[in-house]
Structure 1
Amino acid sequence: MRRSHLAGRWLCLALSTSGSALAQQAPPPPQETPAAPAADATEGEPFRVPTVQVVETSEAPASPDSASRRDPSGALTVIRVDEFGGAARDTAAMLSTAPGVTLQDVGGYGQSKSLVVRGASSNATLVLLDGIPINGPGGIADLSRVPAAMAERFEVLRGGAGARYGSGGLGGVVNIITRRPGADARVAGELSYGSWDTALGWLSASGPLAGGEALVLVHGGTSSGRFPYLFDPSPTLPGDALVEERRTNNDARGAGGLLRLRRELGGGFSADLLGELSFDERGLAGTAQNPSVDARQSGGRGSASLRVMGTLPGGVRTNARAYYRRDRIALAGGSWSQSEPQVQQLGGVELEGQVLLGGWHALSAVVSMGGESVTAADTNEASGGDPSWLRASVMAMDEVLLWDGQLTIAPSLRVDRAGPYTLLSPKVGVTVELPADFELRANAGRAHRAPSFLELYVRQGTLLPNPDLRPESALYADAAVVHRSDESFASVGGFASLYEDLISYEAYPPGAARPYNFASARVVGLEAEGEWRPHPLLSGAFSYTLTVSSDLQRDERFYLRELPYRPRHKLAARVMGGPRWLTGRMEVVAQSAHALTRDGSMSLPGRAFVHAGLASTFGSRPELTVSCEVKNLFDARAEDFVGYPLPGRAVYLSVAGNFSGMETP
């Protein structure tokens, strides 16, 4: 019975960390079922047209990369793509609704978008596509290159994740879970068109194939990006009239595809093959004061992974994975032009095992090995030409169940070798079941990020490398109280991080910038999130983050000033209601003003956007949904983190279809 109780405990842990758990819960496995974490029980129907009703989901094989499985006590928010509904859904915008997450965007379809999580820099947050890192050259994951059409849900794990995921997870980890195949034949797609000639679309087909299940998805989009904005031609003269101009060289386009195959191998083992390919191109418009008329960026990404999962004799759950990713970026025109594109390649193998011992604790271990390389047009002598690294890591974790499941302690330790750097990342997590459906969770540990190849070796225009950089590190702790019922979910908690040896670019005379390690910085804050579903036709969700950062560098220009690009307040709220034939939704996203420079001499004003939409769904086979979405309903004027005007009010129309054949008995 204690073995079965621990199995149920693993299931509860997987569900308890989700801010959207009410819409995702699956029935627990029978008591005689072996201990199988149900992290992927949230996957549900792969192409459910957005409605507000809570739909029962079907169980799916657990994903070893699921954050709820790798970090059962972590601060985790799960975001389902179909809960946002409407047209022109944007990956970065959806992720920014999670607590602790701030979006750094250049505005509009296809333009650069990255995340700051709990005050860590953009290159200190790992972004994974089904477990494969997609952080490109420089360590920053550009989410504009990840269309929402590929994703079924996002897992946002906040806080240091070095002990679970390795180098790069100082602020947290975002795992993008792609759509999964189904046993029943199904065809689905969506077309959207809106302001500034923005057109988006995707088409998918899934069903049985050669004794297994298959999914094929293609997607694409384009936009002129010529939105109007108000420009001050003489900012030094107060009171002068603003002039309306249109953004130029701001167009973007992209296309790609996803292939996923799943098959049972017999003997309790299954195989999952994933392939992803994408291409994109965009103009680099510069700023309103210094526009660029011909700077362009083009890129392409390809990735593949093969995973085999099963249970060995003795109840040892195992999975083995091999993966590869190639990322290409080329710059032309303007001052960013390069004679050759940068190509980053990485690949590796990973083996994981989990076993229950004595019915009261579960041991997990991960061993991985791989390599990484990058080509560049201009490297310094220290790189020895095109640099490459070997990577290896070992991670061990134990989940100890005490007091009949009321207390779970999960210590873990990971050792990473990234090129010349050895990184040690310990962590301990605690979960306590409290009366009246309350729960307490807490975490403390240390995480690291090794410098990237670009920071160490590669010259990029006026950005110079520094081969003497040291890895960044973070000491972190957090705690939260969680409450859930059949109709609601709420979580309130605090966090603190001490970042050491931060890597930041500083002026390097006569006209360049170079990265250096700086002493330390402190970030403390408060996170709150909740969801309420009082009726099948009505739901609401919110998140709020208070972030207080302090630069601890012993320089009077910077000491105790707030770090740039970290707004103190951030709020996101969403409400949806209505029957299938007319569902309405409204969303508010706001953040306070914040500094743009370390000395506080420049700042970005606060902003608040209101989005609204209506959708109407008809039929079942086929099922058709027509929707209208208004972004920035009140046409709020705002700027991004480099002074780039963000788009004003935009309107998008969408038509989505979903056809499925007869269900398999």
Structure 2
Amino acid sequence: MGRSFLAAPGLCLALMMGGLARAEEAPAPEGEVFTVPTVEVRETAAPEPPDAASQRDPSGALTVIETADFGGAAKDAAEVLSTSAGVVVQDSGGYGQSKNLVVRGASSNGTLVLLDGIPLNGAGGIADLSRVPLALVERFEVLRGGVGARYGSGGLGGVVNVITRRPDAAARVAGEATYGSWDTALGWLSATGPVLGGEGLVLLHGGRSSGDFPFLFDTSPALPGDALEERRRTNNDARGAGGMLRLRHPLGEHFEVDVLGELSLDERGLAGTATNPIPDARQGNGRGSASVRLMGELGSVRGSARAWFRRDRLSLSNGPQALQGTQAQRVGGVELEARTLLGGWHGVSAVLTVSGEDVSGVEEATVGTTRPSRGQASIMVMDELVLAGGRLLLAPSLRVERAGSYTLLSPKVGATLTLPAGLELRANAGQSHRAPSFLELYIRQGLLLPNAALRPERVLYADVAVVHRTERSLASVGGFYSLYEDLIAYELFPPFAAKPYNFAAASVAGLEAEGEWRPYPWVAGALSYTLLVSRNLRDDPRYYLKELPYRPRHKLSARMSGGPRWLTGRVEVMAQSVQYVNRTEEAELPGRTFVHAGLSSSFGRAPELTLSVELKNVFDAHAEDLDGYPLPGRSAYVTLAAAFGGPPPTPPKPRTDSP
């Protein structure tokens, strides 16, 4: 463990002694529960759709994070998600640069990321969080553990469902503008209200940053203790813009239709690592997605029918020849989902999904066409058995899936037992798969070669957790074990290229603790901690029983906020221990601790205005991520938010561990 990781024990212990709390959907304490002031009003929660994580996996390790709880403190989606237990963000450094998720030790392509149920994982199987504008997001559903039975291929470590903002029946206009270090400017503007007998929302967003922050560089790493040289990050700029249109309309008394359209465009420099900078490589991205969902009840059956489509375009220019070209991916499908209660003691759910995808490659594909494609179909059945007078819930499920030429079987069983004294015990066990992605199977990109003979990756997993709740605190502590098999990794392919192979197996075990504490209406605290121990199995003897690269053993997030509406202060500590960057454990990234602080003041009601000042990385800690990407040092931001109209603000729901 790096020494910097030990810098925050005082705050952590204070929060833990006050009562760890991993909040579930429990009754809120009397009076308005304090949160960071926000001008964006949230309406009374509507019934959750059948595909909500709490409905699809009633016993799973689930955290729901409301973005309103962060006010203007968070600047991107990765910053919010990094506060969840079991989640590690891999950061290329700076606003708009690539940010990927590692959940419970699974690779970035082993975590599904969905936008209102539409998959965002690209042709390589990885979803880039920098392309999820925080302005769109109402909440994140983070479901940890294998989710193949619930969500299908790709969910080895978990799934993150990004739930976008919903329209409101009350007319309201809101917006936010931020300016800060390195010429960073962010903003969004939304309008919602009644439209043609229903509700509508339109939202526009944009941002840019030069990204030219200073960092410390070791010019002679072979000489320990020599002076570091300050350099400035170049070709690290980013800019983007987009919008979302969402409509909800009732159809009679029992049905509702929800239409969503989303478009985003962004461009960024690819700066390279500190030791191998790339002065001119550029990446442009464009995404358009649309979905139509019909939800409602028919007799005793509650369900939904949905159709969706997404197109992603990625363009690489300048830089080395291997980093040039254009790729476009199209994904579309339909999904039917239904739930019904039988006999008053068990409920049956079923999901039928049919989808297809194709992609154009940077170079000619090995399958003889420049646009290979494949279809995918699956059916999932789940039963929820209520036993022991309602104290025990058993939820077995099974998904059978055909992904291209692969047939995948993903079973799972979950259980929830209600105990005395406000305690609850949850357990899950099952199997999930990840079919090889298009890039791994078909597409040659520069020096990366495809391999059509790859087998799907597989995980066998189990977890158990204990949850305790009071009126003002909630806590969850649990352990998990995952066995990953047939892992896909790129290896050297003579003379100069790299090619993916199924190479081995790995085990990951750990501990997750997450909670929330609200002793008074004007004080709130939250904490999450992850212990993760990984081992390389059945591999080359040089790597046997070594830790997996880029898997820090310890990760901590702690937040505390307090004060009246007119002046609210907050402090946050984000820390993680040392992590290895190769399989021999010979190279490592030091542990790091970042401290963030901020003040907000809200005043007025019509309009309501909030002025926030944020100081990120207060102590100017210098750190790197991945294999040498510098992270920003100290930075400052000023945010002004305003809202006109709408109902009075409602108390926010705390993050939740399960339904």
Structure 2 Cα separation of the partners of residues 472 and 337 of structure 1: 27
Code of the aligned partner of 1:263 = H
The aligned runs of 1:206-355 (5 Å cut-off) are: 206-313=192-299, 315-335=300-320, 340-355=325-340
Q: Deviations over 1:313-338 (max 9, x none)?
A: 3x111210000000110101112556
After superposition, the Cα gap between the structure-2 partners of 1:356 and 1:583, relative to the gap in structure 1 and judged at 3 Å, is same
State the partner residue of 1:59: 45
Cα gap change, 1:587 to 1:22, in 2 (>3 Å): farther
Tell me, yes or no, if structure 1 residue 379 matches structure 2 residue 364: yes
SS in 2 for 1:454: helix
SS in 1 for 2:448: coil
Structure 1 gap ranges (5+): 1-17, 28-43
**Aligned ranges for residues 33-432 of structure 1 at < 5 Å?**
50-51=36-37, 58-313=44-299, 315-335=300-320, 340-382=325-367, 384-432=369-417
Does the Cα contact within 8 Å between 1:88 and 1:652 map onto a contact in 2? no
Gaps of 5+ in 2: 1-20, 649-659
Cα distance in 1 between the residues matched to 2:646 and 2:139: 24
SS of the aligned residue for 1:572 comes to strand
1:379 Cα deviation from its structure 2 partner: 3.4
* 2:640 maps to 1:655: yes
Identify the residue that residue 433 of structure 2 maps to in structure 1: 448
- The structural deviation recorded for 1:52 is 9.0
Distance 1:549 1:140 in 2: 21
Question: Which sits farther off after the overlay, 475-484 or 374-383?
Answer: 374-383
Note if contact 2:85-2:529 (Cα within 8 Å) is conserved in structure 1.
yes
Distance in 2 between the 1:301 and 1:495 partners? 36
Does 1:439 find its partner at 2:442?
A: no
Whole-angstrom CA distance in 1 between matches of 2:399 and 2:619:
49
**Kept after mapping to 1: 8 A contact 2:139/2:163:** yes
- What CA deviation, in whole Å up to 9, does each residue of 1:38-92 have, x standing for no partner? xxxxxx9xxx994299x99613132222111100000001111111123452201
Return the alpha-carbon distance in structure 2 between the equivalents of residues 383 and 427 of structure 1.
39
Q: State how 1:5-44 maps to structure 2 within 5 Å.
A: 19-21=22-24
**1:533-575: CA deviations, max 9, x gaps?**
0000000000000000000033211000000010000000000
Q: 1:501–1:519: 8 Å Cα contact kept in structure 2?
A: yes
Residue type at the aligned position of 1:441: R
- Looking at structure 1, the residues matched to 72 and 552 of structure 2 have their Cα atoms a distance apart, in angstroms, of 28
Q: After the TM superposition, list the runs of 4 or more consecutive aligned residues in structure 1 that deviate by more than 6 angstroms.
A: none
Secondary structure in 1 aligned to 2:230? strand
Correspondence for 1:9? none
Q: CA deviation at 1:178?
A: 0.5
- In the aligned structure 2, how far is the partner of 1:133 from the partner of 1:337? 27
CA contact (8 A) 2:505 2:539 kept: no
**8 Å Cα contact 2:503-2:539 kept in structure 1:** no
Equivalent residue number for residue 657 of structure 2: none
Corresponding residue of 2:629: 644
**CA shift for structure 1 position 234:** 2.5
Contact persistence 2:451–2:501 (CA under 8 A)? yes
Mapped contact 2:175–2:187 kept (Cα < 8 A): yes
1:348-389: per-residue Cα shift (whole Å, max 9, x none)? 111111111000000000111110000113134236442100
Checking the alignment, whether the CA contact within 8 Å between 1:538 and 1:578 is kept in structure 2 is yes
* 1:470 aligned residue (455, 463, 482): 455
In 1, the alpha carbon distance for the partners of 2:425 and 2:471 equals 19
Q: Distance in 1 between matches of 2:38 and 2:518?
A: 9
Partner of 2:16: none
Provide TM-score, normalisation by structure 1.
0.91
The correspondence of residues 592-611 of structure 1 with structure 2, limited to 5 A, is: 592-611=577-596
Relative distance call for 1:513 and 1:646 in structure 2 (3 A) is same
Structure 1's 593 and 367: CA in aligned 2 closer, same or farther, altered over 3 A? same
Q: Which amino acid aligns with 1:642?
A: D
Please list the CA deviations of residues 461-510 of structure 1 after superposition, one character each: whole Å capped at 9, or x if unmatched: 22111111100000000000001111001000000000000011112222
- Aligned match for 1:542, one of 514, 520, 527: 527
Q: Which moved more, 1:430-439 or 1:453-462?
A: 453-462
CA–CA distance in 1 between the matches of 2:29 and 2:154? 32
**Alignment partners' CA distance in 2, 1:267 and 1:658:** 32
Aligned match of 1:627? 612
CA distance in 2, matches of 1:482, 1:87: 29
AA at the equivalent of 2:599: L
SS of equivalent residue, structure 1 residue 372? strand
Deviations 1:278-330 (A, max 9, x none): 000000001111111110000000100000011113x1112100000001101
CA offset at residue 441 of structure 1?
0.4
- Flag the 1:586–1:662 CA change in 2: closer, same or farther, 3 A: closer
Calculate the TM-score normalised by the size of structure 2.
0.92
1:49 and 1:625 in contact (8 A); partners too: no
Offset of 1:132 from its aligned partner?
A: 0.5
1: CA distance between counterparts of 2:153 and 2:338? 21
- 1:135 maps to amino acid: N
Task: State the distance in 1 between where 2:48 and 2:522 align.
Answer: 30
Deviation of the 1:19 alpha carbon: 3.5
- Sequence identity (%): 66
Cα pair 1:88 1:192 within 8 Å, conserved: no
Q: 1:145 to 1:23 in 2, by over 3 A?
A: farther
- Contact 1:580 / 1:617 at 8 angstroms: preserved in 2? yes
User: In structure 2, do the counterparts of structure 1 residues 441 and 135 end up closer, same or farther at CA, with 3 Å as the change threshold?
Assistant: same
- Structure 2: how far apart are the matches of 1:491 and 1:431? 13
Count of residues in Structure 1 that have an aligned counterpart in Structure 2: 627
Secondary structure of the residue aligned to 1:79 is strand
Larger deviation, residues 61-70 vs 126-135: 61-70
Partner of 2:18: none
Which secondary structure does the structure 2 equivalent of 1:616 belong to?
Answer: strand
SS in 1 for 2:266: strand
The 3-state SS of whatever aligns with 1:334 is coil
What is the CA deviation profile of residues 599-628 of structure 1, one whole-angstrom value per residue up to 9, with x for unaligned ones? 112111111100000000001111000000
Corresponding position of 2:483: 498
> Is the contact between residue 295 and residue 336 of structure 1 (CA under 8 Å) also seen in structure 2?
no
Q: Contact between 1:25 and 1:57, CA under 8 Å: does it hold in 2? A: no
Q: 1:489 to 1:383 in 2, by over 3 A?
A: farther
- Check if 1:461 corresponds to 2:464: no
* Matched letter for residue 21 of structure 1: E
